[in-house]
Amino acid sequence: MAVSRKPNFLYLITDQQRADWLGCYGHPVVKTPNIDRIAKNGTRFDDFHVALPVCMPNRASLITGRYPSAHGLRHNGCNLSERANTFVDVLAASGYDTAAIGKSHLQSFTDSKPVGRKPFETGPIAEAWKPEPGSYNEEAPDSYQSDALYKITTPYYGYRHIEMVTGHGDRCGGHYGQWFRRTHPDWRELHDPANELAHNYTCPQAYRTPVPEESYPTAWIGDRTADWLRSRNGDDTPFFAFVSFPDPHHPFNPPGKYWSMYDPSDFEVSLPYSAHQNPNPIMRRIKEMWENGESSPLMQTAFYADDQELREAMALTAGMITMIDDQVGKIMQALEESGHADNTVVIFNSDHGDYMGDFNLLLKGMLQLRGLTRVPFIWSDPSNPAQPDRCDGLASTVDVSATILDRAGVNPYWGMQGKSLLPAVSGAAETRDALLIEHHDGGARYDLDEPARIRTLLTRKWRLTIYKNVEWGELYDRETDPEETRNLWDDPEYADTRGQLSERLVREMMAVMDESPRAQRVA
């Protein structure tokens, strides 16, 4: 068949998966042969970091090419404004078919409220901005309660075809939830926690689901994507497909054979809490909560776990990752069958990482550890067989949109803040010598008086992290202390380094000021 003039893009993304939990990134236990094959035929980025290590803000940065402080979706529970342009909008305007299958999370799909926020008495006008014109209910639970398939208003942030999955674990909602209720008359029993299958795991949020493998959200996304790709056989319209798995995000509940695929004893707690020479107050507070039997502020926030609980979480996470890998194999086979494999750029990524045992921590939070901010990014372009196997230069989620538009031969819009990574996959010099990571919490946690506001500067050698309105900070030498076990913030020997990096951080923060809309006339 004829090859499309423009390249296609297949974007595979997971939820809460750190970079080193893939075979191609060196994990000694977890098996990911299909993702490893994508990496073998492409470039693996070894120092790729998120714009903000929480689901919604970073996904909004991915699709807009802008930092959270610019696009406005600063923490979970917000919505990406329907006024925001996205790189998917640009592709659609350039003749691309655009599809999203799986988790979107650009609008809130939960009714939970932030915790620890002080009450604020408002006047007759509550906010600095007038209300948005949209309803922002496309991912809300109530939209999917009826038996009739919910029709999302399109384009949805640029996507023309949507098959939505909301939530995590075995009880996801959205279009998947409607399908599950329609095809499983016993769905209430399958979703009833009282019917959990027997197991002897003690790890918090370990849950052995009775939902069959073939009906689990990961499998549904793989099936729907494979069907969509096969339907394109003979269609030369270029496409962009965003395929988003809600796993391996907790709860730890791989279905069927994936539950027992890995043995906890096969995993090692290689970076225990005791390895840190001077843990900061947040780390100490989280450990203190564990010692006192206190619960985490939210189900999603970081907590301390003992070694056995960590090994169990690792084994179950590995099961979820291998299940994703199996579905990636199914999707890649469907891409071959569609006739478009030789003209499709395949990308693998995750929206943020997980502490996954670092200093005895699980899940995510405000601690900007490398396991949380560093994620896999693989770029495999069949038109560039000479692309390097790996790139060790710094790269960020905000760079993704610029890279895809550059490869598509389409100009970006004004206000995009990322840089194209195409020179890096052509073997040229690295794209950047520093990058910024933001963090905005939705509530006050771990004894802080206010929601955390954090900025991190990464260079090849240093990680500097500054917290708003606290006296302490973090400074780590990434070359001599790659596991970040000694905080140099208060070390007089590194006072000049701290000052120089702080100045560079200010410059990076100034550079991400929103420049859009562009002035009509410059004096």
The H or E element spanning position 227 is helix 217-230
Min mean pLDDT across 105-109, 156-160, 198-202, 203-207 is at 105-109
In 3-state terms, what secondary structure has residue 230?
A: helix
Q: Rounded CA gap, 348 and 303, in Å?
A: 28
Q: Could you report the per-residue pLDDT of 352-370, keeping only the tens digit for each? A: 999 999 999 999 999 999 9
Q: Rounded CA gap, 299 and 205, in Å?
A: 9
Mean pLDDT of 275-287: 97
Whether the per-residue pLDDT at 2 is higher than 90: the answer is no
Residue type, 185: P
CB of 341 closer than 8 Å to CB of 398: no
What share of the chain has pLDDT > 90, as a percent?
A: 83
What share of the chain has pLDDT > 70, as a percent?
A: 97
Whether the per-residue pLDDT at 427 is higher than 80: the answer is no
At 131, the pLDDT band (50, 70, 90 cuts) reads confident
- Residue 33 confidence (pLDDT): 98
Whether the per-residue pLDDT at 115 is higher than 60: the answer is no
- Residue 120 confidence (pLDDT): 64
In a domain, 518, yes or no: no
Residue type, 337: E
What does pTM read for this prediction?
0.95
Contacts (Cβ under 8 Å, ≥6 apart) of 489: 472, 473, 474, 475, 498
CATH value at residue 58: 3.40.720.10
Mean pLDDT of 130-154: 89
Residue-by-residue DSSP string for 140-193: SGGGG-SSSPP---SSBTTBSEEEEEESSTTS-EHHHHHHHHHH-TTHHHHH-G
In a domain, 521, yes or no: no
In a domain, 479, yes or no: no
In 3-state terms, what secondary structure has residue 515?
A: coil
Whether the per-residue pLDDT at 521 is higher than 80: the answer is no
Parent domain of 343: 8-113+135-272+301-423
- Residue 126 confidence (pLDDT): 80
At 329, the pLDDT band (50, 70, 90 cuts) reads very high
In a domain, 511, yes or no: no
- Residue 118 confidence (pLDDT): 61
In a domain, 317, yes or no: yes
Contacts (Cβ under 8 Å, ≥6 apart) of 431: 393, 394, 395, 399, 419, 420, 421, 423, 424
Mean pLDDT of 496-510: 97
In 3-state terms, what secondary structure has residue 475?
A: strand
Contacts (Cβ under 8 Å, ≥6 apart) of 306: 360
Whether the per-residue pLDDT at 113 is higher than 90: the answer is no
Min mean pLDDT across 9-23, 270-284, 293-307 is at 293-307
Whether the per-residue pLDDT at 518 is higher than 50: the answer is yes
In a domain, 281, yes or no: no
Mean pLDDT of 19-30: 98
Q: Could you report the per-residue pLDDT of 447-468, keeping only the tens digit for each? A: 888 999 999 999 999 999 999 9
Min mean pLDDT across 125-134, 200-209, 457-466 is at 125-134
- Residue 124 confidence (pLDDT): 87
**Polymer length of the chain:** 523
- Residue 408 confidence (pLDDT): 98
In a domain, 147, yes or no: yes
- Residue 508 confidence (pLDDT): 96
- Residue 523 confidence (pLDDT): 58
Q: How many domains is the chain built from?
A: 1
- Residue 392 confidence (pLDDT): 93
Min mean pLDDT across 68-82, 200-214, 472-486 is at 68-82
- Residue 4 confidence (pLDDT): 47
At 385, the pLDDT band (50, 70, 90 cuts) reads confident
In a domain, 203, yes or no: yes
Whether the per-residue pLDDT at 1 is higher than 50: the answer is no
- Residue 372 confidence (pLDDT): 97
Contacts (Cβ under 8 Å, ≥6 apart) of 510: none
